[in-house]
Amino acid sequence: METADHFSSLQDEYREKYGFSYPEQSTAKTPKGLNHAIVAQIAEHKNEIQWMREFRHAALDTFLSKPIPKWGNQEILQSINFDDIHYYIKPTDEQGRSWAEVPQNIKETFEKLGIPEAERKFLAGVSAQYDSEVVYHSMKKKLEQQGVVFLGMDDGLREYPELVKQHFGTVIPPTDNKFAALNSAVWSGGSFVYVPPNTEVTVPLQAYFRINSKDMGQFERTLIIADEGSKVHYIEGCTAPIYATDSLHSAVVELIAMKGATIRYTTIQNWSTNVLNLVTKRAVAHEDAVVEWVDGNLGSKLTMKYPCVYLVGERAHGEVLSVALAGNGQHQDTGAKMIHAAPNTTSRIISKSISTGKGRASYRGLVKAHRGAVGCKTHVECDALLIDETSRSDTYPTMEIDERQVQVEHEARVSKLADDQLFYLQSRGIGLEQAKLMVVNGFIEPFVRELPMEYAVELNRLVALEMEGSVG
């Protein structure tokens, strides 16, 4: 197939697959703007228990008292109009209990998202989000038998109030930052996962998120608790239709890996280019625990996301593996944080970014070694690839070291597409565009190979589409 045809067919598929929007069918929607009355209304809709209502109101006060961060993309951050956003939309009255009960138009949404029929049946549990509420949820029998809890966050709160109360907001308190406070006040949807001790969840838990209302803000809240010696892999993928005005997405994800537990959290995000994606993701790793964030960021107008691991138990290990692709006019402000607060903890950050057109990719990271974290080791590697003359890459890593017996290493490289590689590929009869794509694919290969097959395929398609603008 000709390269150009190849790209245009992908583009059609893309529009078909992601670039659409059904009319809203909301039965409950709060007015635009944010105040205590709105927060009370959200809690009332959900018929929430008292402590969560108090938590929301306190968080709103925190949100209102905190200034917008003074770092990052000021132009965009300062332009957010918090009064022009709906903070809650409930799509249907009833929570879908089985596939048959899921409303038809939402089923169509899944069709468009391209979840194959077979996969739907096979998937361990699909927690698909349409606007602010979990509407469809299926749990595989095996998970139930294992005692694994995989619910929408709202259901989790209803069914496991004590467990949620014990952990909710402990990793990311509302006071942490303005957007965490915002999420804490108006959160809706997201996932709640509990894995019992010494239990291995062999199939990845998957959730599909989706924004589908004009000017709609989404504030998912996810809490994953992996009890001692357990193991779980959670995957979230995002696609979004294209809208005319900005859409704010501000999720909070808290992970708790108890002694000896392993959590891998994989994200492939492809927001439409009007979305502001301002996310707080943080994990706590206790003794001998392992937490891995695998994070792919595509699309959006501005993404600010720095997955973090607090290594609080001896020998805990944290890892962030991320790829950011900043297309024309996009700003991917992403990175990672590793906080070493116990002896012999280890961490690794591998960050790769690609900027095309007037895209800007910024790496922002923190490695901290507290006093007493003797024998801790950390290694950070940032690689940036600049495709066009107008592309931009920034690297802002911070290392705060309060302990002598540590090994801290940081490396960063910025380069353009290597001429010699392109020349070689062209000499083998490969067109320039295709050659560029091949080099880029090679660049992100260490990331892609960590993904489940279907995500790897999808990511490669998305990269090709993003590249089309710059190489076409």
Partner 1 sequence: MSWIPVVRIEELKPGSVRSVELGDERILVCPISADQVYAVENCCSHDGGVLGEGRIDGTVVECPRHGGRFDVTDGRAVRMPAVASIATFATRLTESGWLEIDIEDD
Partner 2 sequence: MASSATRLTDPRPLPPRERVIQLARITGDHLPLVQKRLEALDAYLETPLPDRVKHLWRYSDPLVLLPQHPFVVPQPGPELGTINRTPGIDDVFLVPGMRPVIVSSDSGADEGMTITPLNESDEGIERLGRAVPAQHGLFEALNASIWSCGVMINVAKNRSPSRVLRITHLASLPTTGTRVVINLEPGAALKVIEVHDSGGAGISVLSVSEQFVGRNAELSHLLIQTWDKGTAGHVTSRAVVEADGRLNASLISLGGAHYKADVGAVLDGVNAISHITGMGLCHGRQAMDHHTFHDHRHPHTESELEFKVALTGRAKSAYTGLIRIGETAEKSEAYQECRNLLLSSRAQTETIPELEILTNDVRCSHGATSGPLDPEQLFYLKSRGISQAEAIALMVRGFFENAIIRVPRQLRPNVESTIDHHLSRGGLK
Instruction: Indicate the SS3 state at residue 372.
Output: coil
Report residue 197 as tokens. Answer: 């001790």
Structure tokens at 7: 């790209």
CB 278, min distance to partner 2, A: 17
CA distance 128 to 244: 24
CA distance 285 to 294: 16
Burial class (CB in 10 A: 0-12, 13-18, 19+), 422: middle
Helix axes 50-65, 36-45, angle to 10 degrees: 150
Q: Which is nearer to partner 2, 9 or 407 (CB)?
A: 407
Count residues near partner 1 (CB under 8 A).
18
With 0-12 CB in 10 A as exposed, 13-18 as middle and 19+ as buried, what is 451? buried
Q: Does 44 bind partner 2 (CB under 8 A)?
A: no
The number of beta carbons lying within 10 Å of the beta carbon of residue 127 is 28
Of 97 and 413, the one with the shorter C-beta distance to partner 2 is 413
- CB contact at 8 A, 86 and 80: no
Q: How far is the CB of 430 from partner 2 (least distance, A)?
A: 21
**Around Cβ 461, how many Cβ atoms within 10 Å?**
15
Q: Using CB distances below 5 to 8 A depending on partner kind, what does residue 40 bind out of partner 1, partner 2, none?
A: none
Q: Is 388 in the site for partner 2 (CB under 8 A)?
A: yes
Closest CB to partner 1 among 221 and 352? Answer: 221
| Nearest residue to 16 via CA among 109, 112, 117, 115 | 112
Task: Give the type of residue at 265.
Answer: Y
Q: How many residues sit in the footprint of partner 2 (CB under 8 A)?
A: 37
CA distance 307 to 348: 12
Pick out residues in 350-369 that bind partner 1 (CB under 8 A). Answer: none
- Judge contact between 300 and 330, C-beta under 8 A: yes
Binding of partner 2 by 386 (CB under 8 A): yes
Instruction: Select from partner 1, partner 2, none the partner in contact with residue 269, using the beta carbon and a kind-dependent cut-off of 5 to 8 Å.
Output: none
Positions 408 through 427 that interact with partner 2 (CB under 8 A)? 408-417
Asked if 61 touches partner 2 (CB under 8 A), the answer is no
Task: Say how far apart CA 290 and CA 229 lie, in whole Å.
Answer: 10
CB of 17 or CB of 410, closer to partner 2: 410
For residue 219, the minimal CB distance to partner 2 (Å) is 25
State which of residues 97, 121, 371, 416 lies at the interface with partner 1 (CB under 8 A): 371
- Residue 370 or residue 392: which is nearer to partner 1 going by CB? 370
Which is nearest to 304 in space by CA: 110, 149, 72, 128? 72
Q: Check residue 289 for interaction with partner 1 (CB under 8 A).
A: no
Of these partners, partner 1, partner 2, none, which one is at the site of residue 73 (CB under 5 to 8 Å by kind)?
none
322 touches partner 2 by CB under 8 A:
no
CB of 374 to partner 2, least distance (A): 8
Residue 436 CB, shortest distance to partner 1, in Å, is 42
Pick the closest to residue 447 from 263, 198, 267, 203 (CA basis). 267
* Residue 286 structure tokens: 């206790």
Binding of residue 314 to partner 2 (CB under 8 A): no
Which residue lies nearer to partner 2 by CB, 8 or 398?
Answer: 398
Segment 310-349, which members bind partner 1 (CB under 8 A)? 310, 312, 339, 341
Place of tokens 């937490």: 291
- Please say whether the beta carbons of 161 and 191 come within 8 A: no
Question: Which one of partner 2, partner 1, none interacts with residue 58, CB within 5 to 8 A by kind?
Answer: none
64 binds, among partner 1, partner 2, none (CB under 5 to 8 A by kind): none
CB 369 within 8 A of CB 403: yes
What single-letter amino acid sits at 127? Answer: S
Give dist(CA 151, CA 194) in Å, integer: 9
Site for partner 1 in 131-150 (CB under 8 A): none
Can you give the length of the chain in residues? 472
DSSP string over 300-344:
-SEEEE--EEEE-STT-EEEEEEEEEE-TT-EEEEEEEEEE-STT
Residues from 151 through 180 that contact partner 1 (CB under 8 A): 170-177
Stretch in the footprint of partner 2 (CB under 8 A) among 273-281, 323-331, 383-391, 433-441: 383-391
CA-to-CA distance for 240 and 21, rounded, in angstroms? 9
Provide, rounded to whole angstroms, the least separation between the CB of residue 370 and partner 1.
4
134 vs 180, beta carbon nearer partner 2: 180
Q: Which of 2, 93, 389, 420 binds partner 2 (CB under 8 A)?
A: 389
Q: Tokens representing 410? A: 């940081």
Nearer to partner 2, 144 or 409 (CB): 409
- Scanning 31-39, 93-101, 406-414, 450-458 for contacts with partner 2 by CB under 8 A, the matching segment is 406-414
Does the footprint of partner 2 cover residue 270 (CB under 8 A)? no
CB-nearer residue toward partner 2: 210 or 368: 368
Residues that bind partner 2 (CB under 8 A): 70-71, 369, 371, 384, 386-417
Interface positions with partner 1 (CB under 8 A)? 62, 170-177, 282, 284, 310, 312, 339, 341, 370-372
